[in-house]
Structure 1
Amino acid sequence: MTSKPEEPDRLVEGARKHGERHRRWLREGGEPSVAGRLAQIGVLGWIIVVPALGGIFLGRWLDRTFDTGVFWTAPLLMLGLGLGCWSAWKWVNSA
């Protein structure tokens, strides 16, 4: 009589994987503290604000130089906001 090889029990395998993930989570520091979360939110805000402010400053300088009203300020502000939001999106998804 031939015995077929035993298939690993799915429940046991799932429990083993869960235990490994939990140990890795504990080893890597677990849940961030409130201060850590607030720091992340602060960094996220600056990632969006700095390019927008850069667009405003560059746009105002160009508008003063060429006497064009807000011709450069508005599009460079939008470009800065777009760049900041894109950078924030990439930063959040990489973390």
Structure 2
Amino acid sequence: MKVDKKTLEKRIERQSKQWNKAGTDRHFLSQLGLLGTLGLLFVIPLVAGAYLGSWLDARLEGFSTSWTVSLIIVGVFVGAFNVYFYIRDTDGEPHDR
């Protein structure tokens, strides 16, 4: 993906303004909210994978913990992708609702 010089300069300027604003505008509660959101985006797939894997292991005999471990690992990757895409799409800024 090629990015021309003007687009890159505009993007850098916009991000620089956001960083400067973030240093003075952020309050403790907004940072706490962002941290909570990121935590939930990571933990929910992890816990869902653990529960689903445990359920599958109980239903299918001969597999002691293989589904549980496998789906926990999948949950970690899904959670990491969730956090990455959330930060990428919002630039780390919480939305005003």
What range is the shorter-chain TM-score in? 0.5 to 0.7
Instruction: With the length of structure 1 as denominator, give the TM-score of the two structures.
Output: 0.67
Please tell me whether Structure 1 or Structure 2 has the larger radius of gyration of its CA atoms. Answer: 1
Number of matched residues? 70
For 1:90 and 1:32, locate their aligned partners in 2 and report how far apart those are by CA, in whole Å.
Answer: 22
Paired-residue identity, %: 24
Unaligned runs of 5+ in 1: 1-16
Query: Pick from 73, 80, 83: which aligns with 1:85?
Result: 80
Q: Does 1:54 align with 2:48?
A: yes
Give the alignment's TM-score, normalised by structure 2.
0.66
The CA deviation at 1:32 is 2.4
Indicate whether 1:42 and 2:50 are aligned. Answer: no
Kindly state the Cα deviation for residue 82 of structure 1 after the two structures are TM-superposed.
Answer: 0.2
Stretches of 4+ aligned residues off by more than 6 angstroms: none
The two structures, once aligned, show a CA RMSD in angstroms of 1.9
Structure 1 residue 37 displacement after superposition:
0.5
Amino acid at match of 2:69: A
- Find the residue that maps to 1:72 and give its secondary structure: helix
Q: Structure 2: which 5+ residue stretches go unaligned? A: 1-12, 91-97
